[in-house]
């Protein structure tokens, strides 16, 4: 069995344990989510500010990470009805 199949099987088994640490890592794990969350500790940030604070990440990757964090209820996204659109991100309670 090659290594990729072994690692996928380990992840599937680990997902069945119900451990709180495992659940947390599955939500905030990855390379950019912890960095984004760190920057949001100071308060609300707009998308371009997050991009400036994480120059090694592409805007596409930041967008994907923000969407996942929003879907998991970790951050709130506020859209202001302006032209150009203003969007701010902040941590949830």
Residue 35 CB: number of other CB atoms within 10 A? 17
Pairing of strands 86-91, 75-80: antiparallel
Q: What is the pTM of this model?
A: 0.73
Edge-first strand order for the sheet with 45-46 is 45-46, 86-91, 75-80
The helices-and-strands tally (H runs, E runs) of the chain is 5, 3
| CA-to-CA separations, 2 to 8, 11, 12, in angstroms, rounded | 10, 15, 16
Structure tokens at 70: 């929003």
pLDDT by residue (tens digit) across 33-88?
999 999 999 999 999 999 999 999 999 999 999 999 999 889 999 999 988 889 99
């Amino acid at each position: 069995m090659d290594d990729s199949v072994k690692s996928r099987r380990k992840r599937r088994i680990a997902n069945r344990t119900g451990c709180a640490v495992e659940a947390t890592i599955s939500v905030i794990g990855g390379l950019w989510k912890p960095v984004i969350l760190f920057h949001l500790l100071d308060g609300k940030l707009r998308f371009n500010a997050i991009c400036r604070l994480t120059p090694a990440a592409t805007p596409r990757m930041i967008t994907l990470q923000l969407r996942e964090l929003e879907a998991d209820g970790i951050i709130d996204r506020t859209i202001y009805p302006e032209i150009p659109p203003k969007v701010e991100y902040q941590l949830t309670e």
